[in-house]
Structure 1
Amino acid sequence: MMPFFALPALASTLRIVSPDERIAATLDLSEGKPSLSVAFQGRTLLAPGALGIDFADSGPLASGLRVTGVRESQRDSTWKSLTGKTSRVRDHYREATVALQEEKAPRRRLEIVVRAYDDGVAFRYRIPKQAGWTDLAVREELTEFRPTGNPKAYALVLPNERTPYEEPYQTAPLRDLKEGALIGLPLMLSYVDGTALAFTEADLTDYPGIYLRPTGGVLKGHLSPRLDDSGLAVRGKLPKATPWRVLMVSDAPGKLIESNLVLNLNPPSVLKDTSWIRPGKTAFPWWNGYNTGDTGIAPAQTTEYHKWCIDFCAKHGIPYHSIDGLDNVAWYGGPIMPYGGGPITAGLPGLDVPEVLRYAKSKGVRIRVWMSSAAAKAQMATAYP
């Protein structure tokens, strides 16, 4: 790892440019208040937005800071991916890590890491180990994004932080979104010239997800609170790194799908043996509404229906078929939500699960079985002795 070096005394900004030089992230460190802006092909997409964290025991760490060092690096490597859209993934970026410290007591220290890729920008906070501070208690993240203009927003507006993330996306000009609405990620902004900017995150390890709230034209970060009603979002120990805050950028929305940015930012797999993982497409009846067309096959949780699906998979080279649910009734019974108590060790009357598995094996098709988490938790001892 490269050592920190001092930022020139007169410099108040640090510019991190992508390898192809189309994307630039600017970290402004003037007046002791760090902020981040992002430009694409010379055009500012995000005006300077505040950065910082609010700690429950010692208050916000977002101002009164001085730079104690800067470390710059770059990487260009390729690695093999077991799953995903490409078998080999290029990890190519330029990075800067800025070390900050409060000017006054208690002189807490914070690091901000910024990376620029050819398909976006990512940054995270690191709270290093330091004398007199061992326990982490985060109340809120103070990250702000300030999009320029009034692009079309594709927003997942949620009622609270405890939903299954299945609300329909809303489309509206960014500045028409309801003030203070809770927006789940990813959030995409689309400009009239085709430029697309998407907000998401990566490497959520022992840390809550982040939401965005539109407030006066600014998107303010909001961490999902802990379930113990403590008023905190995070408890932990130092040192600690937050998840990456990811800004995917492209000159067309469709190209965002081609990006491996999030994959690159997540940590490598810890599994030593991955031979049992067999990625592949699946037939997923729930997604197509159990549509059987004019085949005469009744759309239902029956042995006949699932054998028909298996035949379809075998014919078209689809390696998996999913057994899930129809309306609010799963293959093991219903209702699915709220959980109605159907046993997950057997199928509904008319659905012979062992026979479906036998038939699938004879056709060279593997079975993916879906169930709700509530059902699994309720019958953990029985289903997973």
Structure 2
Amino acid sequence: MRKLFLLFIACTLTLQLSAQVITSPDKNLTLTFELRDNGVPYYKLGYKNKPVIKPSRLGIETNDVGSLAEGFTIEDTKQASVNNTWEPIMGEQKTIRNNYNELLVTLKQPEQKNRFIRIRFRLFNDGLGFRYEFPKQDELKYFVIKEEQTGFNLAGDHKIFWIPGDYDTNEYAYTTSKISEIPSLMEKATIDVHAQVPIKNLAVQTPSMMKTSDGLYINIHEAALINYPAMNLNVDPKTFAMSSHLTPDAVGNKGYIQTDAQTPWRTIVVSDKATDILASKLILNLNEPTAYEDVSWIKPVKYIGVWWEYFVAGKSTWAYGKETNVKLSDDFTKLTPNGTHGATNENVKRHIDFAAEHGFDAVLVEGWNIGWEDWFGNWKEEVFDFVTPYPDFDVKMLSAYAASKGVKIMMHHETSSSATNYERRLDKAFQFMQDNGYNSVKTGYVGKPIPRGEHHDGQWMVNHYIHVAKTAADYKIMVNSHEAVRPTGLHRTYPNWIAQESARGTEFEAMGGLAPEHATILPFTRLMGGPMDYTPGIFQTDLSYYGTGNQRVNTTLVKQLAYYVTMYSPLQMAADLPENYARFPDAFQFIKDVALDWDDTYVQEAEPGDYVTIARKAKGKNEWYVGGITDENARTATVRFDYLPKGKNYVATIYADAKDASWNQNPQKYTITKVQVNSKSVLKQPLAPGGGVAISIKEGNKQETKGLKKL
């Protein structure tokens, strides 16, 4: 008996002292887990024998039940492997492979009545996901998070593409620097953005994109953000260590947990190829399958809108009246019309006609509803009711008119971040939409949130956004949220949450401009979590055209076309004024043609901050589209066609920058050529500074291909 007891003790000690190791299915990534002094959990990650994350601690500190970051012993470990496929409702690929090796570690705290937690690691060929799990147990029922202790100790002073850590806005311009340079650049990077709450200590937001000096690309983010605050990253510029920094609530707590529960996944996507980062589906794979039985009503949407005219030269306004102190109880028919209201019957009908003529699905109308006279910056609760139109917007007439043309009107719900008001009115607002034929809504959260003291990225608001998406699904409505928390792949679980903004988009081109490199960074940062409503398609890039100022959109016209391929979204807007598209009908054809949903995606070349070239196959069609973009530097894009079926010729229509074009000189000059291509063709296409290339590839009959040059 004594020998058996000693053998048990020896086995237990061996389990505690030995590291747990798993590798990715392709053996390139290695994950190691161990307990160190005082039972503190640590992990490290390597790629092809190069360190990605040096030993970094794990755990959670609480305000009320003691530490969940130390005093552990290993109770159990289990390993598993998964290799299957699934099909998204909409996406960049028809089929996604889900292939990983898993390590599940159960940790026990003997000095806390043997309460236990689990840490689940999933190691894919393209990176690592891990989360904390808190099973239901008598010794751990409720707790309040003080801070998560998850570390990401980096192996060097990497190049990083970053925006300042903030609890309320993602709408900063990106800065590119070494990690050690962040402190000296933070003040300049923290530009004025409404409702911002920058983190006081040195921090950056996720997704955080980095490149090492020896050529590794590393992306840190999170997946499946549910009932938990969003994560920023504390930065130590001397040791290059990062650690989690959760968004607090109004009283400073980070999160409220009731077991059974789990955190979001912490994700680390890594490769020695930048193209692999963009091709990764790790974040999607870590989200749960769709929560809905019927998804037949969820469709891609290509739309125009009464929107850009509000930003250029004061052409029109959201507000109807001249008054600036109004209440929802006021009689809005007695307001003094300001004469510049954009959402009028006449203007909306004009947009509906344009959408119908050119095959668009919907027309977004902003400023249709009462309350815009003093909505901005006053931090009041009852700003909008979401059902009462201004006197010059006839809901029934316009809905019928749009239906007669085969077009939908897209609803706009600006909440001014009064989430309490929105939730009280949500069912009534969605019923109003359903009664009047609206099937999609753009929500907005400009301003400081109500409940007062909460943050856009805190646990309360995270739950609010999901509540809106789930409630919308009850009414078969698709949601496009702006100013919401950055996405984490939840469009897999809630596929009617069709797109988000959550970054600095096209509207900022009219408010100071975006650097030409901006759109070459976004695919590696913001778009890692999900599709973005970037609102591309601006053809009149010199905004002095409208008679005021010298503001400009810092791209060529062709780069705007390329965005429809490089900026993935099943929701895409042709954001410019209809009359500007009428001036360039041949270029506008690409926007009309380009698909929104895809069978396959081929990331051909990419470098964050420099260039991106992507080809995609349209869902269920023998059509392919290519988009290539560059930063402020001219370069030559290499476009391959090896994804085309072998032995067949296709017609490629190439939309290219003219030789003398650039983002700031001759941005509207372009060429359109047609050539024959096949799977062996290779195109070396010059891109202008701040420019791009867009290509549509279709089958052609003998008459269409006759006389075309072969590439």
Matches within 5 A, 1:1-385: 8-9=14-15, 12-31=18-37, 32-159=39-166, 161=167, 163-178=168-183, 180-192=201-213, 195-216=216-237, 217-227=240-250, 229=251, 231-283=252-304, 300-303=342-345, 305-307=347-349, 309-310=351-352, 313-314=355-356, 317-324=359-366, 333-334=372-373, 336-338=375-377, 341=383, 344-347=386-389, 351-374=393-416, 377-378=420-421, 380-381=424-425, 383=429
Look at both structures and tell me which one has the larger radius of gyration over its CA atoms.
2
SS in 1 for 2:96: strand
Change (3 A) 1:359 1:211: same
SS in 2 for 1:34: strand
Question: What are the superposed Cα offsets for residues 6-58 of structure 1, whole Å, 9 maximum, x if unpaired?
Answer: 79548532222211222222223343221122222321121111101112223
Q: Give the TM-score of the pair, scaled to structure 1.
A: 0.82
- Partners of 1:285 and 1:291 within 8 A in 2: no
SS in 2 for 1:29: strand
Question: What are the superposed Cα offsets for residues 172-200 of structure 1, whole Å, 9 maximum, x if unpaired?
Answer: 22222239234332121133565321111
Name the stretch that deviates more: 310-319 or 211-220.
Answer: 310-319
In the alignment, the residues of structure 2 paired with residue 288 and residue 254 of structure 1 have an alpha-carbon distance, to the nearest angstrom, of: 36
| Higher strand fraction (1 or 2) | 1
- For this pair of structures, how many residues does the alignment match? 369
Q: Give the RMSD, CA atoms, in angstroms.
A: 3.4
- Partners of 1:7 and 1:69 within 8 A in 2: no
- Partners of 1:6 and 1:70 within 8 A in 2: no
* Structure 2, gaps ≥5 residues long: 1-10, 184-199, 314-339, 432-711
User: Per-residue deviation at 1:115?
Assistant: 0.5
User: Per-residue deviation at 1:252?
Assistant: 3.8
User: Per-residue deviation at 1:338?
Assistant: 2.7
In the alignment, the residues of structure 2 paired with residue 42 and residue 112 of structure 1 have an alpha-carbon distance, to the nearest angstrom, of: 24
- Partners of 1:97 and 1:112 within 8 A in 2: yes
* Structure 1, gaps ≥5 residues long: 293-297
Question: What are the superposed Cα offsets for residues 235-268 of structure 1, whole Å, 9 maximum, x if unpaired?
Answer: 2322221111111223344543332222211122
- Equivalent position amino acid for 1:28 in 2: E
- Partners of 2:384 and 2:415 within 8 A in 1: no
Change (3 A) 1:305 1:173: farther
Change (3 A) 1:195 1:319: farther
In the alignment, the residues of structure 1 paired with residue 308 and residue 181 of structure 2 have an alpha-carbon distance, to the nearest angstrom, of: 30
- Partners of 2:223 and 2:267 within 8 A in 1: yes
- Partners of 2:74 and 2:107 within 8 A in 1: yes
**Identity over the aligned pairs, expressed in percent?**
28
- Equivalent position amino acid for 1:18 in 2: S
Q: Give the TM-score of the pair, scaled to structure 2.
A: 0.47
In the alignment, the residues of structure 2 paired with residue 40 and residue 345 of structure 1 have an alpha-carbon distance, to the nearest angstrom, of: 54
In the alignment, the residues of structure 1 paired with residue 341 and residue 290 of structure 2 have an alpha-carbon distance, to the nearest angstrom, of: 39
| Higher helix fraction (1 or 2) | 2
In the alignment, the residues of structure 1 paired with residue 213 and residue 302 of structure 2 have an alpha-carbon distance, to the nearest angstrom, of: 34
User: Per-residue deviation at 1:383?
Assistant: 3.9
